[in-house]
């Protein structure tokens, strides 16, 4: 947002975090977004397990969404009558805000995901993500899964999809209509002219088949010499050979010290970390420059509809030819 403002674009940013206004950039605070009476300890989260984490995430985003819609800053958003060249929309979790896209329908939309590409985006972006190749983010398994890991991943994926469509989406539909009034099915509003994902580059994240309208801008927050937060995906760090994972349940001073000593004494970790750093830096432009370019590209070309997949507006049933299969096989059996 700051980079776009520095280039002269006027922005209004509705955010759960307070920030100071600057030239061309005005922040509207959605107060109370991250307050929660039901505080969950770090140790508890570590014991939830894959399915428990699924339930925790769905519950957390619903409660946060509810608070944000009732925030004072939200009233300003609902009162806005001016038109915009572009809407930049955080696409992961807070689906009650899809009513914003309906309020400003007809405006080009850039979807963003600080969380990277996930099950939240797969259907909307028409991504081909077979469970045999793409581990669910809640499941700590490597990309090269064994048979049992693939089976576990497939089962958990089905559970997440059912929860997503049958529980999560209806709850957010009701929540959105309480504030935006009657709406079409909110999943039908989830249409993006361009999608920027905080994932990649290939080598740090698995390679994927991506549509032209999906651009990976991973490491957008990185800069030389900047102290970064630790990588949130612990299993990914282990799989890449740049770290070791310790269980929160039995973490103690002795085990922590042993892990640190092991990493310092074993040159494999530093060698692999330098290799990953080299991959991340070997790009024609920075991730921030890429994100700014494609955002301005969508503005210049009035939504850049030409980047969309040929089947973008088809249903998953049509794309998968399930309707053809259903109509063809019974007739063949009758013959």
Residue spans per domain, the chain: 2-220+286-334, 235-283
In angstroms, rounded to a whole number, what is the distance separating the alpha carbons of residues 265 and 260? 9
Residue 176, pLDDT > 90, answer: yes
Place of tokens 């939200």: 74
Q: How is domain 2-220+286-334 classified at the CATH fold level? A: Rossmann fold (3.40.50)
Instruction: Say what the pLDDT of residue 321 is.
Output: 60
Pick from 27, 158, 31, 180: nearest CA to 97: 180
Q: What's the predicted TM-score (pTM) here?
A: 0.75
Structure tokens at 90: 């955080």
User: b/e per residue, 68-91, with b = 16+ CB within 10 A?
Assistant: bbebebbeebeeeeeeeebbbbeb
34: left (phi over 0), alpha (psi -120 to 50) or beta: alpha
Predicted confidence (pLDDT) per residue in 11-41, tens digit: 999 988 888 999 999 999 988 666 555 556 6
Compute how many other C-beta atoms are within 10 angstroms of the C-beta atom of residue 25: 18
pLDDT band at 92 (very low <50, low <70, confident <90, very high): confident
SS (H, E, C) 264-328: HHCHHHHHHHHHHHHHHHCCCCCHHHHHHHHHHHHHHCCCCHHHCCCCCCCCHHHHCCHHHHHHH
Let me know: does 95 contact 82? Beta carbons within 8 Å. no
Residue 201 preceded by cis peptide, ω within 30: yes
In angstroms, rounded to a whole number, what is the distance separating the alpha carbons of residues 267 and 148? 32
Predicted confidence (pLDDT) per residue in 304-331, tens digit: 889 887 666 666 666 566 555 555 544 4
Span 143-149, mean pLDDT?
85
Strand order, beta sheet including 214-216: 87-90, 109-113, 194-197, 214-216
Average pLDDT, the chain: 82
Structure tokens at 264: 């310092």
């Amino acid at each position: 947002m700051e980079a776009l403002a520095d280039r002269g674009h006027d922005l209004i940013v509705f955010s759960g975090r307070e920030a100071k206004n600057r030239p061309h950039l005005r922040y509207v605070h959605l107060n109370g977004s991250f307050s929660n009476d039901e505080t969950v300890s770090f140790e508890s989260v570590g014991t939830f397990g894959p399915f428990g984490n699924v339930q925790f995430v769905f519950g957390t985003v619903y409660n946060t969404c509810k608070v944000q819609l009732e925030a004072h800053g939200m009233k300003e958003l609902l009162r806005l009558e001016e038109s915009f060249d572009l809407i930049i929309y955080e696409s992961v979790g807070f689906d009650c805000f899809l009513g914003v896209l309906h309020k400003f329908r007809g405006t080009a939309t850039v979807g963003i995901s600080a969380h990277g590409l996930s099950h939240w985006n797969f259907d909307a972006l028409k991504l081909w993500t077979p469970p045999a190749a793409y581990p669910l983010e809640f499941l700590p398994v490597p990309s090269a899964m064994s048979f049992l890991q693939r089976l576990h991943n497939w089962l958990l994926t089905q559970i997440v999809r059912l929860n997503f469509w049958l529980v999560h989406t209806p709850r957010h539909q009701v929540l959105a209509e309480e504030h935006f009034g009657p709406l079409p099915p909110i999943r039908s509003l989830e249409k993006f002219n361009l999608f920027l994902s905080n994932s990649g580059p290939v080598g740090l994240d698995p390679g994927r088949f991506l549509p032209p309208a999906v651009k990976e801008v991973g490491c957008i927050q990185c800069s030389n010499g900047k102290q970064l937060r630790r990588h949130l995906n612990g299993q990914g760090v282990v799989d890449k050979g740049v770290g070791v994972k310790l269980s929160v349940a039995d973490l103690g001073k002795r085990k922590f010290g042993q892990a640190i000593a092991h990493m310092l004494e074993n040159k494999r970790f530093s060698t692999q970390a330098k290799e990953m750093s080299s991959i991340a830096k070997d790009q024609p432009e920075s991730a921030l420059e890429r994100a700014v370019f494609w955002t301005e590209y969508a503005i210049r070309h009035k939504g850049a509809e030409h980047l969309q997949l040929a089947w973008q507006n088809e249903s998953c049933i049509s794309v998968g030819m399930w309707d053809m299969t259903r109509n063809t096989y019974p007739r063949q059996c009758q013959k």
